[in-house]
Structures are given as structure tokens and as C-alpha cells.
Amino acid sequence: MDRLLIEGGEPLVGTIPISGAKNAALAILAGSLLATEECLISNVPRLLDVQVMLEVLATLGVKVQDSAGSVVIDAANLTDYSTPYQLVTKMRAAFFVLGPVLARAGQARIPLPGGCAIGSRPVDLHLKGLRSLGARVAIEHGFVEAAADQLVGAPIYLDYPSVGATETIMMAAALAEGTTTLDNCAQEPEIVDLANFLIKLGAKIQGAGTEQIVIEGVAKLGGCAHKCIPDRVEAGTYLIAGAMTGGDLLITGMRPDHMTSLVSKLQEIGVSVSLADEDVMTVRADKPLLRPVDVRTMPYPAFPTDLQAQVMALLSLIPGTSVITERFSRIVFCM
């Protein structure tokens, strides 16, 4: 499909089920490389990024069975430690395989997401964490090359609560010798979901979802069945769409506890958002009664950057002045 025809002007009314979380699924698929037995991962969204990740796993010698939202991964015989340049540069999250491959194979050669571009590296915190665990890390010709006879647990402080770095270090530390204490961690639900998956495999992890995660390394991880959490960004997008159109939506299969900051902001705007069941929310809006607000995006559990564009569109329809502060930048709307 190369064109969408959208006829607007109508309120959105009806029931919408929420898909599995892409960001949780990608990290969990990478984490399955740590397992020596089969993993059944369900509620996996049908997205191009997921397909690319499955292709990356296949290049490492992993057996992949993909059908109808569930994926079976068998990484018992990890046969390679290097991934193709064209796959990792196609989708940044494929870089997440670095930590698990290093922990399993003792070495890894993964392309940088940005290739050989000069300037700040978006994966510096990942590499800092792996070096702290005892890995020898070098960057050559757009590839990260890492090796370690045995990763060893260590205290690690993240300069910034990076989701990707938290996940990479947590996965690598799961098979390290000794205890890793990771401070200033990201606290996103996707990190908790990854930790829960690893714990099912046999990992010893405490504190996921807080500023400090403690990982006691184990010698081997097995297999498990795991269902990915629902996508909070997709759910939030539909909540905002219902508000924008003056609609009446029933959104099912979501996690209301992951939506607290958005729901609070929508209620401040004047949108009616209520819990209909433990995983169901309703959203209703009377557009003439909506009010301008200020929004500041920050790391979870604050208002998410991934919903900034959607709420900006909503606020552009509301009379008055709204201000959005995206960390270090500021956007002002006046109507």
C-alpha cells in the first residue's frame, strides 16, 4: 500500500483491541538468545521491525518458527556471533543482540546502528556497561567487536536512564559471574517485561522497574513460555484519537497501570477516561469543553516522548495556549 485515503470529520466510535508491545517484543526476542531451550513468545505484534529481528536471529543460527502472533525460538545451537550490516542498520533495535551474543558465545561482532557516522554514538552507555562487566570492546569500520573469556558482575552507574543500555547490560549480566548492581536504570514497563521473561528462563533479577536493578549471574538459562505486554504507545494513541474526534471508544487488552501519566493529562484537558475492566478503558470527549494544558515529556513514569506528537495534534485543536516542553526544547500553541 503506497497511499492512504482518509475522510475525516467523524468521531471515532467502537471497540479497539491493543497489540503486543513492539519495544518489549524486540528486547525479548533478543533475550531469547540467552536460552539453551525453546522459548514460546506470544502476543508478538506483526510489524516489519519484528520481522527484521527474526531475520537477525536466523543469521545467528537460531531456529525460528513464526505463526499468528506467536514465535518459537530455539537458540540452543548458537552457530555465529556476527550479524549482517544491512539488517542491523535497517532497524536500530537489532543492536540489542550484542549483549546476549557476547554472554553466550564469548564474542560478538555487531554493526553500529548509525554505521561509520562520525559524532556521538547512541550506544556509548551500552558499551560502557559491557566494558564494566569485563568485555574487551572496540569499534572498527562501523562494527562493534566485543569479547570476554567470562563476563564478571560489577557495579554500574548509567549517566542517563537509557532503556536500551539498561536492557543490554541486564541481558549480558544474567550470564555473568557474580553480582551486577545497575544504578540509574530506566524504569519503563518494557524493561520489567524483559526481566520477567529472563526470570522465567532462570535468571536472578531484582528491582526491575526501579532505579536500581540487581542481577546475580547464573551459569545457564533454560526455556519458557511468555506473553508480551500490550503496547502502551498504541493504547495512548487511540485514547488521544478518541479525544481529538469527540469520540466514544472502548479500548481493550491494555494495561491501565502503564498509562497513568497520559490519563492524568487527558483528564486535565477535560477528556472523560475511565476504567471499564482491569484491561479495558473508555474514552469520551466533548470537544467544545476541552481546555489547554502544559505538557513536559520525561522518562517513565512521566509523560512519554513517544506520545508527544499525538498530544501536540490534540492541543492544536483546543482554543487557548498550550506549552509542550520536550526535555530541552519548547513548543507553544496559541489558538
**Which residues are the active-site residues?**
116
The set of residues, in sequence order, having a beta carbon less than 8 Å from that of 122 and lying 6+ positions away, is 92, 113, 114
> How far apart, in whole angstroms, are the C-alpha atoms of residue 217 and residue 151?
9
3-state secondary structure of 21: coil
H-helix segments, 222-271:
232-244, 260-269
Q: Compute and round to an integer the Cα radius of gyration of the chain.
A: 21
User: What would the grid cell of residue 261 be?
Assistant: 501519566
Whether 141 contacts 85, CB under 8 Å: no
- Provide the grid cell at 330: 519548547
The cell for 249 is 471508544
CB atoms within 10 A of CB 239: 28
The set of residues, in sequence order, having a beta carbon less than 8 Å from that of 24 and lying 6+ positions away, is 189, 190, 193, 194, 228, 229, 231
Task: Round to whole Å and give the CA distance between 186 and 188.
Answer: 6
C-alpha cell belonging to residue 66: 513464526
Rounded-to-integer distance, Cα 315 and Cα 335, Å: 9
What are the angstrom distances between the C-alpha of 316 and each of 198, 292, 301? Answer: 42, 9, 25
Q: Are 165 and 126 in contact (CB under 8 A)?
A: yes
